Amino acid sequence: MKKRIITRRDFLKVAALTPLAGAVPFSVYSNQAKVTKKEILKSRVVLIRDKDALMASGSPNQEIIQKMLDEAVTTLLGGNDPVACWKTLIKPNDIVGIKSNVWSYIPTTKEVEQAIWRRVRDAGVPENNIGIDDRGVRRNPVFQNATALINARPARTHHWSGMGSCIKNYITFVPRPSAHHGNSCADLAKIWTDYNLKDKTKLNILVMLTPLFHGIGPHHYSQKYVWDYKGLIVGTDPVAVDATGLRVLEAKRREFFGEERGLQPPAKHILLADTRHHLGTSDPEKIELIKLGWEESRLI
């Protein structure tokens, strides 16, 4: 079947249904989606914030981060005890890769890595079967043999893909990342199936402690466009996690610029991860969003 070309006019047609002119309307692409059984169930995502998540120095507060992660995981999985919940995700004989992100301006942070590491250990995994890595995952024996992955990265706008997302965080599993830059990284989700990462991934954590909502210049960074949101978004569905984070970034841009300013380029890889690659759910209507903690300026 010949692929349908989507044009600006398709967006004009659905504009009345999507008051946010800069956003990529779901319905433009939705005719490409197959309705699967999974879509009938809502994807659950937990957004947790704590006003004390960052210390005066700007560094994350380890104790608070652990508490936020524990509360998010127990809420997500419907339990009371964080360790018991982690044991439903990770088995003691698993080899666990904690996929981090080392971008110099806004990394995953040691505190988030440590909070995850601690709970993986509590689930009974020996220390030598746990690895934390980003750009070295292809050479790291733990990741080469991993039976389970925890995916944790900071949320930020991105010059080429629109948003640095949990989906995008697996780009370092690819030998030549630039091969996935086509059409502003539209098909990043394919990495998850091509490299057998989808089923291994047990949890996705989008770190929203100090997100970047707008980027400038070759390094796509300015402190001017970073704010203390002090949040984490946690879920088993990476697409739902990213779609929720995207809503926060878009809301912040709206607030800051005083007008609708969609991401440039739009983070269409998140939408296409759903409609084309069936990795998860991007439609907010199909996401059960549970909001916990600090409510001020939550934006969504």
Partner 1 sequence: MSEDLKNKQMELRDLLPMEINGWKVAEEDREFNPETIFDYIDGAGEVYRAYNFEKLLSRHYFKKGQPKIVADVFDMGTSADAFGVFTHDLEGEDLGIGQGSTYNGGLLSFWKDRFFLSLYAEEETAQAKKALIALGKSIADSIPKNGEKPRIVSFLPEEGLLEKSIHYFHNHIILNYHLFVADENILFLDQKTEAALTTYSLQEEKSILLCIIYHDSEKALHAYKSFIQAYMPDASEEGLVKTEDNKWTAAKLQEDLLIVVFNAPTYFSAKEMIQKVLELRNQK
Query: Site residues (CB under 8 A) for partner 1?
Result: 3, 5-9, 11-13, 15, 158-161, 177-178, 181, 183-186, 216-220, 222-225, 264-266
Q: Closest CB to partner 1 among 138 and 219? A: 219
Q: Closest CB to partner 1 among 58 and 78? A: 58
**Where on the phi/psi map is residue 108: left (φ > 0), alpha (ψ -120 to 50), or beta?**
alpha
Q: Closest CB to partner 1 among 78 and 217? A: 217
Give the list of residues 6+ apart from residue 159 with CB closer than 8 angstroms, or none: 215, 220
Output the smallest distance, CB 123 to partner 1, in A. 33
- Altogether, the residues listed in the chain come to a count of 300
Output the smallest distance, CB 171 to partner 1, in A. 9
Q: Closest CB to partner 1 among 3 and 37? A: 3
Work out the number of other CB atoms within 10 angstroms of the CB of residue 135.
13
Amino acid identity, position 132: I
Output the smallest distance, CB 73 to partner 1, in A. 30
Output the smallest distance, CB 19 to partner 1, in A. 14
Q: How many Å is the Cα radius of gyration of the chain?
A: 18
Output the smallest distance, CB 33 to partner 1, in A. 15
Q: Give CA angle at 206 (109, 81), nearest 5°.
A: 90
* Lookup: tokens for 54: 């960052």
Output the smallest distance, CB 15 to partner 1, in A. 7
Q: In this structure, are residues 248 and 232 in contact, taking their beta carbons and an 8 Å threshold? A: no
Give the list of residues 6+ apart from residue 161 with CB closer than 8 angstroms, or none: 168, 184, 185, 188, 265, 267, 269
Output the smallest distance, CB 156 to partner 1, in A. 11
Give the list of residues 6+ apart from residue 116 with CB closer than 8 angstroms, or none: 69, 98, 150, 152, 205
Q: In this structure, are residues 237 and 280 in contact, taking their beta carbons and an 8 Å threshold? A: yes
Q: Closest CB to partner 1 among 91 and 135? A: 135
Amino acid identity, position 153: R
Output the smallest distance, CB 214 to partner 1, in A. 9
Torsions phi, psi for 232 (to 5 deg): -135, 145
Any idea which residue has 């983070």 for tokens?
267
Q: Closest CB to partner 1 among 8 and 37? A: 8
Q: Closest CB to partner 1 among 220 and 286? A: 220
Q: Closest CB to partner 1 among 8 and 34? A: 8
Q: Which run of H or E residues covers position 183?
A: helix 182-185
d(CA 285, CA 200): 26
